[in-house]
Amino acid sequence: MTTETTMPTRRNFIGGAGKTLSLAGLAMISGGCSYAAAPNSASATSQDVEILNAAIALEHEGIAAYQIAATSGLLQPAVVDIGVTFQGHHKGHRDALIKAVEQLGGTPVEEQSQDHYIDALDIASLKNQEDVLRLALKLERGAANAYLGLIPSLGNDFHQVAAQMAGDEAFHAAILGNALGEPIPKTPLMFG
Amino acid sequence: MKTTTGIAFALIAIVTTIGGLLLANSHPSMQNALHVPGNAEKTDPSIKSSALSVTLAATSDQAAIGEKLYQMKCGACHSLDKNRIGPRHRNIVGKQAGTVTGFKYSNALKRLKAQWTDENLDAWLENPGKFAPGTSMGFRVKKANERKAIIAYLKSVSK
């Protein structure tokens, strides 16, 4: 199978995966305990909106990073393909988080300009594929830790979806670490 | 993905460093380093020079450990020199909260009347929502020794 025939199939898969994740996240967010029906308190809801918006900002940055990397010319086509798949996961996270913020009555934070992300992530310093992969690994590993670390601050209804997102980020980090030749960690509790 | 032998050897060195970072929580020598008491600012002026050297080295070690923890736990949202999800952190220690130029703070941080001292940073990292209700930072650093190391690192990159 050639790259040309593989790419559309993978893109279709990415789109499907994003929808599936969004639906799963939304089912979790809107099912069972509804914020509209039983909010803990106005301040707790406001706190959740702030934290979820920070998570949206994190996903915006991740999506932008993969977009910039994919069009940088530094990556092999197969690596671009993987990056686009990961980007699709982040889009699914973003969509689920936006829906959650809206359900809580908040306003989702918007993405910033690409120039902002290029500067914030010091994209100009990336010279080759390995540099790009190391940045991606740093962001994914950090995102896994970030989601795990914010769970205690979030309302109970968001704990599971935050853990799911941490799991996705950890999966990405594992793939990237393997691509970079990193050894498998010897001890458990690698994140958080 | 194939790499050249040269790159592979270079990666072994890098991976060793990152592997050490991942193991930081459980490595006995790092645990010991985190628990070395005292720091340069709190040292008795009459302390013997050799002991002072040890203390300074311990502080330096703690900052080095803190740097790894910072990358692992804070690096998703922060960097030293760029405003990202959160504000940049170089020279943050001693600064008034909510005053890094160019960063769009939550109302909670805008209203907060606090200076980033060791004590305030410790309380903030332990539970940001308790320290500044309504903040957008939800990430908590549970372990006191990790907070201490991260603060030591932030101090090392502040004037």
Nearest CA in chain B to A45: B134
Q: Beta-carbon neighbour count of residue B44 at 10 Å?
A: 10
**Position A39 pLDDT exceeds 50:** no
pLDDT one-digit tens code per residue, B2-35: 444 444 444 344 333 333 333 333 333 333 333 3
List of chain A residues whose C-beta atoms are within 8 Å of the C-beta of residue B5: none
Sorting pLDDT into bands at 50, 70 and 90, what band is A24? very low
Domains along chain A with CATH numbers:
40-179 (1.20.1260.10)
Query: What's chain A's average pLDDT?
Result: 84
Residues B114-136 have a mean pLDDT of: 97
**pLDDT at residue B55, as a whole number:** 63
Residues A131-156 have a mean pLDDT of: 97
Lowest mean pLDDT among A170-179, B51-60, B67-76: B51-60
Inform me whether the C-beta atom of residue A74 falls under 8 Å from chain B C-beta atoms. Answer: no
Inter-chain contacts counted by CB atoms under 8 A, chains A and B: 101
Structure-model confidence comparison of residues A8 and B59, the more confident one: B59
**pLDDT at residue A41, as a whole number:** 83
Percent residues over pLDDT 90 in chain B: 62
ipTM entry: 0.77
Tokens of A39: 């909010």
pLDDT one-digit tens code per residue, B52-65: 566 666 778 999 99
Residues A161-184 have a mean pLDDT of: 97
Instruction: Please tell me the distance in Å from B158's CA to the nearest CA on chain A.
Output: 20
List of chain A residues whose C-beta atoms are within 8 Å of the C-beta of residue B90: none
Output the DSSP codes for A30-86. Answer: HSSS-TTTS-S-HHHHHHHHHHHHHHHHHHHHHHHHHHHHHTSS-S-HHHHHHHHHH
List of chain A residues whose C-beta atoms are within 8 Å of the C-beta of residue B86: 54
Nearest CA in chain B to A176: B1
Element (H, E) at A29: helix A3-30
Instruction: Please tell me the distance in Å from A93's CA to the nearest CA on chain B.
Output: 15
Does the distance separating the beta carbons of A50 and B135 come in below 8 Å?
Answer: yes
